Structure 1
Amino acid sequence: MENYQIVPWIDHMLSPDVVHEQYVPPELEALARQVMEQYDMKVHDMVLITSKPDKGGAIWKISTDKGNRSIKVLHRSPKRSLFSIGAQSYLSEKGYRVPAFILTKDGNNCVEAGGKLWIVTEWIEPLTPVSKVDLAGAVELCYGLGEFHANSKGYIPPFGAEKSSRLYGWGKNYEKIIAKIGWFRDLALAYPSAASSGRLLSVIDEFERQANDIYTRFKASSYTIMTAKGEPYWGLAHQDYGWSNGQMGTGGIWVIDLDGVSYDLPFRDLRKIMTSTMDDMGVWDLTWIRGMIEAYHKANPMDRETFEILWLDMAFPNEFYKHVKEIVYNPGPFMELELGPILDRIMATETSKWEALRELENDMAGYLPGDYTTVDMPSLVFDRPNREFVTPLPSFKLPADERATAPKSVPMQEPAAVELEPIAAQDPVGLPGVDSKPMPVREPAAELKPAKEPTPAQSSEPVLVREPVGMPQTDPKSKPLREPVEAELEPAGELEPVHIQLPKSNVVQEPVTFPQAAPELVPVGTGAGTGATAGPPPAAPALVTLPAAPPHRFTLTVPKKRKSASSRKTSRLKRRRKPRRLVHWRLQKRRMKGRTKKTIIWKIAILKPKRKSLKSKAPRKGTPLKYRSKLPSTKKSKFTTKKRTA
């Protein structure tokens, strides 16, 4: 049993009197008994409640020395099941009405065996389904659903769990349904002789139009700003809530079977139970719908944006897709036997559906708008292939007076706040006779003109030019990147420190450069100079844009297509030597150095395949011939010697 792996058993051959949902393989039941040994309890009896033979799940009711309990094998992967177990534990610890876990002897709330997770919980008694024939039962069911959603807010899955989220997938779900409605048309056209093919073609255009119109309105709704609140803000949706998974017990509605919970806009559960109830009733009763929404609103308050998305989801043709999608798996028999009654029931509710929705749309104004201007919790975007939480980087903007233009993608080693030290003017040490006034800073991007030879009236003292901080050094010998820019002289002063908070990222998209004054180089001295006289400072400093690096060019190398095994074998056969046949030989004698050398000369001919003829050539008259018969015969052919005469 240690190597037994749980797999679906839907294909097992069973006797006709055995129901698949009431059967599990003997190996699975034996594995369940081994799992129960890890709990501090003595099991007296176990009864199979139901199973999922197509997925590999089952649940038993067990009677122990500590009361009735249940043991369940979760059919999903262990990491995905851990998300559901954590959600049930989170709700149970808050005191909400979900079955509490029984811990193992080691203090764990689950056991892994057979490639699946097993849980043991309390058996809640008594539990009774609410009434489906009156509005009171539906109100109780929807109120309990609102309590479940309100208590699930703020849930964070445990470490190692695979997060399940449908919060950001509403648009893709609508697109999938629209695409499959197109498939229904294609299948109806492919089976024109089926009984319900023409009926389906007559109504499918209307449902496709409804789906496209509602999806267009959905894209213009508040869905995007609502989902920006993040998954923990909205909490969990049950995804399979109904009259059997929400039952009345001690204190109110108890929610069971939490295997498929996931992050989502929670009122999707409310839409499912309302539309399915209306479909079962055969008519959309506005009184029922308003009563169910009001009961949910009392337990989990809704705003105008929430009501808008709920209305759009109700108007989308979900029930039509739900009932007709089986056509994809077995089109012919489905259209012959099942599709007709389904279309009759759906079309019977269409008129009352849109009448109720038009009235219900007017109720939207009675709900207060929600506040979605700020995000209370960080928006966690889930990267599904890597199963990780990813927090989007915040955007940033520099002040208006600190514009920056530079090449892209410069890696930063320490993405922290950068503070530039102010540059103070000071006298150079060790250089006598130099004026204490600092010299102007040369434009780094412009080409430096060589200084003229000083005249006798000028001083030959050295010149100190202060390089700007944070600017790239310019090599005077290097070729300028572009034409030099003529700038006017402006006395340099103290540079103000600039504080910039960079985002926490390993890559800065655009490095920051700071504009500096662009003075011209002037001769230094006390006498009359030949350089330009300083004029008034310009209104705005001229920025020199460095040319972008040329794009990296590469050559795409496509590997040669590998020959298949059959083609390689054929090539080898072609390269084999052709069969040869000796047709003539003679002995040649050559005299070499007083002796005779005998050499055999061979003449080889390459055999060419010839098509065998059923008729043999007639031999010459009067000559014996040894030949092999080529005429078809039932007897074995053999060599014979015959003498034929005229």
Structure 2
Amino acid sequence: MEQYLITPWDTRVGSEPTPLDWDMHVPPEVDAIAEQVIKLYDMTVTSRTLITSKPDKGGAIWRIETNKGPRSLKLLHRNPERSLFSVGLQEYVVQQGARVPALIPAIDGKLFVEMGGKLWIVTDWINLTPATKVDLVGAQELCYGLGEFHRHTKGYLPPFGAKNSSRLYRWPNYYQKIAKKIGWMREMAKAYRDTVASPSILAVVDQYEQQAVEALNRLKASAYPRMVTMGEPHWGLVHQDYGWSNGQNGPGGLWVIDLDGVSYDLPFRDLRKLITSTMDDMGVWDLTWMRGMIDAYHQANPLDAESYEVLLIDMAVPNEFYKHLKEMFFDPIMFLNTEADAILQRVVATDQSKAHALAELAGDLGKYKAGDYEQKIAATEPQRVPSESSTWNQNNWGLQPQKTANAEDTAGSKEKRTEKIKVTKKRSKSVAAEHTPAVEGSKSLLESGRSAKKTSAEQKESKSTTKEAKPVKEESKTSTKEVKPVKEESKSTTKEAKPVKEESKSTKKEAKLEKVQSKSASKEEKSAKEETKSASRKAKLVTVEPQSYGKSRTTTGSTKEETNTSSEQSTTRTRRAPSSNVIDLTPYLASGQTKKTNAKKKVVRKKAASASTSSAKRKTTTLAKLKQQAQKNKIVAASKAVSLQQRKAKMAKQNVKQASKQSVNQAAKSVKQTASVGNKTKKAASSNIKHSYAKVTAPSKKMNKQAANKPSAKKGVKSRGVR
């Protein structure tokens, strides 16, 4: 039975409202895996309570009551390699003395459990209280704790097998992205001019775009390029999601929790996010709060002048404007008609004091000492290798083998492709030496200059090859007779891929081939179109760069070099040998005899195709006729059925009429027989008549003239009748 793989179990589309209990449930499969994970630890669990979950990512946190005190069970939503990076950092900073929950090892000694395609960790449950937001003291506590955390992360190298996460070298790209996205906001506002927020956005978008561009230029001119050359371990890691919920007061000071998103970066990026979000919540850029937060951080993790300058540049970027208004890219009409205008007005009002506050903070640059970044070269992102230091016990940090079916499939497909493209070179050594390209000639010169053991004969051959192998630029200018224009090359690949006879064959075979070629010259001209198609199809199997080699077809006695070569080269068509990075197409190209057979095969295929098409047409016509006949039969049958139903209905109506007439006649006869009888007999007759009339239609007009139906006068009342 395959293991259940944990994936996001609930997602929201667009601007759907978040349900109240959206983050308070997990699938039963995840619950079952959590019970299995608990059994792998040396503890007895009496209760397990879900604290929160991430349905859109696939993570969760439980509080578990154990025989060793309350603990936390956490499901990390990232892939195991990325989660191993953060788990290793958590263990590293605990050893450095940071106030971070310590990982509890499982029975096998590992600090995590891998199950369901994710990593699980267990830590002690620490009672924490959030820092106060009301006054500056709480903000300073938060910043001081952040500085301590950054200081303890310096020098970290992840365990072997962990996926490295770094944003240290991405600052310019981030600034460019913000400037580009703000430009998109302008186009969105123009496209939806009828929305409520469109005029307000168009009024300020140019200003914010200019701020992003200026910040990018300032960053390039700052010490940032020299700072990042110090390397990732020098700067340490950032939390990336640090705030009032992930930094809380506990035993001994401020604790930092939820480290699963840590990454290498300039550490004060976390400080910038904390300051700008706090100013956005306050609705004003308060200089006192900003200075107090920076000073508190500086006490725990000192800043130099270059870092302070880059911090101010990062605050000058329109981060809050971009963060709040980027929602328009998901549901533009709804967002621009409902929330955008109010959010924009608040952001613009808050930014009225931003420029003045940053200008005042720039005056504090002299408080910080200059850093030493002059000895490093220009910033380049190094190819980092995960740490194989002895500090990591690989038995306790090894991951399970991941499913790499897709990667293997792709590798296998590449191998199959390369097998198709492999070409065996059958050229003789002498010919190859005479026709070496410019690249091989230059390499031979370098090798001859480096090695002192080469003979004089080899040096002469290398010189001769350099004479024959001229630079590509000179060939493109002067070899108009040897090389055809590029336009002709782009028109057809067959001109580049003409058949080349193997130069290592004997002269007798070549003479015979020449005769065959002379006789079949006229036939080849007629079948040129078919040859181009077949050659182009075969040439598609090989990826060739037309600019990497030239094609020069010459006949006998065209150049001086050919007169010195053997009779084999003078009688056959030749071209320059392909360079080392170009694949030889000779085995894939058809010879003269194979072209004839191919032409015959094509004719036969065309005839077979025409026969198949004609038979297919016949089948289609017969099927169409059968369908038409079936439709006609259906229509006739339906009409017959309708006519039968109509006839039956008419017969039924006639039967009803006849029955009604018979009943009426019988009633009339009974009335005549009882006309002379007294009142009693009349009442009885009338009752019988009424009973007989209940099952038939209304009486006819003749019944109105009968005496029994006329009203009788009451006793003692004179009546003249009704007129």
- TM-score normalized by the length of structure 1: 0.63
Q: Based on CA coordinates, which of the two structures has the bigger radius of gyration?
A: 2
How big is each residue's C-alpha offset from its partner over 1:576-628, in whole Å with a ceiling of 9 and x where there is no partner? Answer: 337789xxxxxxxxxxxxxxxxxxxxxxxxx99999xx9xxxxxxxxxxxxx9
Using the TM superposition, give the Cα deviation of residue 635 of structure 1 relative to its aligned residue in structure 2, in angstroms: 2.9
State the match for 2:183 in structure 1: 182
- Supply the distance in 1 between the matched residues of 2:580 and 2:270 (Cα, whole angstroms): 52
The answer to whether the aligner puts 1:220 opposite 2:209 as a matched pair is no
The answer to whether the aligner puts 1:165 opposite 2:166 as a matched pair is yes
State the match for 1:96 in structure 2: 98
How big is each residue's C-alpha offset from its partner over 1:88-146, in whole Å with a ceiling of 9 and x where there is no partner? Answer: 00011122100001111111100011111000001112x11111111111111101101
State the match for 1:287 in structure 2: 288
- Which of 446, 452, 456 pairs up with 1:473? 456
User: Is the CA contact 2:158–2:387 (under 8 Å) kept in the aligned structure 1?
Assistant: no
How big is each residue's C-alpha offset from its partner over 1:245-302, in whole Å with a ceiling of 9 and x where there is no partner? Answer: 0011111110000010010001000000000000000000011101111111111111
State the match for 2:245 in structure 1: 244
Name the aligned partner's letter for residue 144 of structure 2: Y
- Supply the distance in 1 between the matched residues of 2:42 and 2:618 (Cα, whole angstroms): 87
How big is each residue's C-alpha offset from its partner over 1:389-426, in whole Å with a ceiling of 9 and x where there is no partner? Answer: 99xxxxxxxxxxxxxxx97668999xxxxxxxxxxxxx
User: Is the CA contact 1:230–1:379 (under 8 Å) kept in the aligned structure 2?
Assistant: no
State the match for 2:203 in structure 1: 202
Q: Which has the higher helix share?
A: 2
Deviates more, 1:27-36 or 1:79-88: 27-36
Using the TM superposition, give the Cα deviation of residue 470 of structure 1 relative to its aligned residue in structure 2, in angstroms: 6.2
Q: Which SS does the other structure have where 2:98 is aligned?
A: coil
- Supply the distance in 2 between the matched residues of 1:476 and 1:148 (Cα, whole angstroms): 65
How big is each residue's C-alpha offset from its partner over 1:315-372, in whole Å with a ceiling of 9 and x where there is no partner? Answer: 0011111111111111110111110111011000111011101111121232221001
User: Is the CA contact 2:160–2:386 (under 8 Å) kept in the aligned structure 1?
Assistant: no
- Following superposition of structure 1 onto structure 2, how do residues 52-67 of structure 1 map, counting pairs within 5 Å? 52-67=54-69
- Supply the distance in 1 between the matched residues of 2:460 and 2:76 (Cα, whole angstroms): 74
User: Is the CA contact 1:231–1:379 (under 8 Å) kept in the aligned structure 2?
Assistant: no
- TM-score normalized by the length of structure 2: 0.56
- Supply the distance in 2 between the matched residues of 1:133 and 1:282 (Cα, whole angstroms): 14
State the match for 2:599 in structure 1: none
% same residue: 51
- Supply the distance in 2 between the matched residues of 1:73 and 1:306 (Cα, whole angstroms): 36
The answer to whether the aligner puts 1:131 opposite 2:132 as a matched pair is yes
- Following superposition of structure 1 onto structure 2, how do residues 99-118 of structure 1 map, counting pairs within 5 Å? 99-118=101-120
State the match for 2:8 in structure 1: 8
State the match for 1:381 in structure 2: 382
- Supply the distance in 1 between the matched residues of 2:136 and 2:300 (Cα, whole angstroms): 17
State the match for 1:298 in structure 2: 299
When residues 410 and 106 of structure 1 are mapped into structure 2, their CA distance, relative to the original with a 3 A threshold, is: farther
Using the TM superposition, give the Cα deviation of residue 63 of structure 1 relative to its aligned residue in structure 2, in angstroms: 0.8
- Following superposition of structure 1 onto structure 2, how do residues 118-517 of structure 1 map, counting pairs within 5 Å? 118-125=120-127, 127-374=128-375, 381-382=382-383, 469=452, 473-474=456-457
Q: Unpaired runs of 5+ in structure 1?
A: 391-405, 414-443, 446-467, 484-548, 560-567, 582-606, 615-627, 639-646
- Supply the distance in 2 between the matched residues of 1:161 and 1:580 (Cα, whole angstroms): 67
Using the TM superposition, give the Cα deviation of residue 555 of structure 1 relative to its aligned residue in structure 2, in angstroms: 8.3
Q: Which SS does the other structure have where 1:635 is aligned?
A: helix
- Supply the distance in 1 between the matched residues of 2:632 and 2:126 (Cα, whole angstroms): 92
- Supply the distance in 2 between the matched residues of 1:2 and 1:555 (Cα, whole angstroms): 45
User: Is the CA contact 2:97–2:152 (under 8 Å) kept in the aligned structure 1?
Assistant: no
* CA-atom RMSD in angstroms: 4.1
- Supply the distance in 1 between the matched residues of 2:61 and 2:446 (Cα, whole angstroms): 56
- Supply the distance in 1 between the matched residues of 2:219 and 2:19 (Cα, whole angstroms): 49
Q: Which has the higher strand share?
A: 1
The answer to whether the aligner puts 1:45 opposite 2:47 as a matched pair is yes
The aligned length equals: 450
User: Is the CA contact 2:578–2:584 (under 8 Å) kept in the aligned structure 1?
Assistant: no
- Supply the distance in 1 between the matched residues of 2:162 and 2:321 (Cα, whole angstroms): 35
- Which of 67, 72, 75 pairs up with 1:73? 75
User: Is the CA contact 2:73–2:123 (under 8 Å) kept in the aligned structure 1?
Assistant: yes
Using the TM superposition, give the Cα deviation of residue 634 of structure 1 relative to its aligned residue in structure 2, in angstroms: 4.9
How big is each residue's C-alpha offset from its partner over 1:522-577, in whole Å with a ceiling of 9 and x where there is no partner? Answer: xxxxxxxxxxxxxxxxxxxxxxxxxxx99668589999xxxxxxxx9xx7897333
Q: Which SS does the other structure have where 2:208 is aligned?
A: helix
User: Is the CA contact 1:40–1:105 (under 8 Å) kept in the aligned structure 2?
Assistant: yes
- Supply the distance in 2 between the matched residues of 1:552 and 1:17 (Cα, whole angstroms): 64
User: Is the CA contact 1:382–1:388 (under 8 Å) kept in the aligned structure 2?
Assistant: no
User: Is the CA contact 2:88–2:158 (under 8 Å) kept in the aligned structure 1?
Assistant: yes
Name the aligned partner's letter for residue 42 of structure 1: T
- Supply the distance in 1 between the matched residues of 2:302 and 2:172 (Cα, whole angstroms): 24
Q: Which SS does the other structure have where 1:44 is aligned?
A: strand
Name the aligned partner's letter for residue 76 of structure 2: L
